[in-house]
Amino acid sequence: MSMSRLSRPALLLLAAAAALLAGCASQRPAALPAPVVAAPPGGPTTTAPAAPSATEPAPWLRPRARWVPVDWPALPGWQADRAAELWPALRAGCQRPPPAWAGVCARVNAFQPPDDGFAREFLQRELQPWRVESHAGEAQGLATGYFEPLVAASRKPSAQFKVPLYRAPADLASRRPYWTRQQLDTVPAARAALAGQEIAWVASALDVLVLQIQGSGRLRFAEGDNSPGARATQVRLAFAGHNDQPYRSVGRWLIDQGELKPEGANWPAIRAWGERASPARLNEMLWSNPRVVFFREEPLPEASPAGPVPGPRGAQGVPLTAGRSVAVDPQAVPYGTPLWLDTTEPLATTPLQRLVMAQDTGGAIVGAVRIDLFWGAGEQAEQQAGRMKQPLRVWALWPRGLMPPG
């Protein structure tokens, strides 16, 4: 049914019905929930216009980005994405929305789009697209990927599981910056600060490194004494702080050492190099990154009939959604902002154009056109994330008529 053929009272009734039928996601709404704008006190309530005003908003400056308004046709591949798949991530973001999003989130939570076209139409009515670029006008950037590692572990040290994972030490807040990675491995006072903070032990320092680079992960324990055939259980490691040291890429160190080519410095290649390196060379690589991440243990939620186990919580404070959540520089893009990505698949030229939510950040994610795509958990996610280093363009979607916060 065309929205242009509905009267104002009908639109308002549809908006109210959408809120009442929030639990009836299997039924297709008769029309989009209508944006409702409150008039000044004493005045009537009116419906917002479906089309943007004739006056286009001016470019907007963030500390590390400039947003330039565009029309929807400027988003390459916009009509081809499975837009309805954004809803779990969008609803997660609406648990802790930016202030400007209160009205939009109320309508997002009021219905489940029955198909991609309906979801796209809703977003186009509600939101204004903005091209994200640097202050100098550079609109090309970089897309990388991250994932939730799954690592075998033990509650007790052994010949197989000998490398500890640590909780945040008691004196972390009182010493800034904290000990470097090398100092924590070699200085007696630094090592003493970590005594008793072990969460678990893993087989390799490379397992620790990947958990720290990704910022979270899962540990798989065998019940009892880790004997063959014992039933495995899983827990989640969540980010609990770091040592306030700068993040340095071990991939860049390997390139500078002539050990890897720039085009081949991905996580599978880094792990393979580390597994064949001597202990001294492995330590050189590890110590080239002084940053250390500390963790806390959390129970792993169970998968629901509607989907897999939710991802770890990102910097926005909401669970990440595989393939639809990204890490951003919050000085360029506020958490809770939907984004349109134009990039390519890892190690390929196949377009990767999709809606995602800005819900996390990371030490290496700095700048205007810079994202880290969360691929989920498991071997396939590790392969995709580890090989992703692609050119990128980004558009931010923001409620119509409202300027993002400065």
Tens digits of residue pLDDT in 72-112: 999 999 999 999 999 999 999 999 998 899 999 999 999 99
Rounded Cα distance, 300 and 302, in Å: 6
Number of domains in the chain: 2
Q: Is the pLDDT of residue 399 over 70?
A: yes
The DSSP H or E segment spanning 290 is none
Residues 187 and 294 in one domain: yes
Find residue 130's DSSP bridge partners: 69, 396
User: 39: helix, coil or strand?
Assistant: coil
φ and ψ of 162, to 5 deg: -125, -5
- The answer to the question of residue 368 being in a domain is no
- The answer to the question of residue 216 being in a domain is yes
Q: Within a 10 A sphere around the Cβ of 399, how many other Cβ atoms? A: 18
Rounded Cα distance, 86 and 164, in Å: 38
Residues 36 and 163 in one domain: no
- The answer to the question of residue 119 being in a domain is no
Using left for φ > 0, alpha for ψ between -120 and 50, and beta otherwise, residue 92 falls in alpha
- The answer to the question of residue 270 being in a domain is yes
Domain boundary among 235, 264, 299: 299
Q: In whole angstroms, how large is the CA radius of gyration of the chain?
A: 24
Residues 152 and 286 in one domain: yes
**160-185: pLDDT as tens digits:** 999 999 999 999 999 999 999 999 99
Q: Work out whether strand 370-377 and strand 141-148 pair parallel, antiparallel, or are unpaired.
A: parallel
Residues 32 and 153 in one domain: no
Residues 155 and 268 in one domain: yes
- The answer to the question of residue 361 being in a domain is no
Q: Is the pLDDT of residue 143 over 70?
A: yes
**48-58: pLDDT as tens digits:** 334 444 456 78
CB proximity list for 289: less than 8 A, separation 6 or greater: 181, 209, 247, 248, 249, 250, 253
- The answer to the question of residue 203 being in a domain is yes
- The answer to the question of residue 10 being in a domain is yes
Structure tokens at 383: 């392969």
Residues 157 and 267 in one domain: yes
| Residue 224 belongs to domain with CATH number | 2.40.240.50
- The answer to the question of residue 317 being in a domain is no
Residues 166 and 292 in one domain: yes
Structural domain for 295, as ranges: 147-299
pLDDT given at position 364: 86
Domain boundary among 299, 316, 333: 299
Residues 160 and 43 in one domain: no
Residues 161 and 45 in one domain: no
Residues 27 and 160 in one domain: no
pLDDT given at position 22: 37
pLDDT given at position 347: 80
Question: Helix axis angle, 279-287 relative to 267-276, nearest 10°?
Answer: 140
pLDDT given at position 32: 56
Closest C-alpha to 166, from 196, 197, 204: 197
Instruction: Match 């963030």 to its residue by tokens.
Output: 62
Domain boundary among 244, 269, 299: 299
Report pTM: 0.77
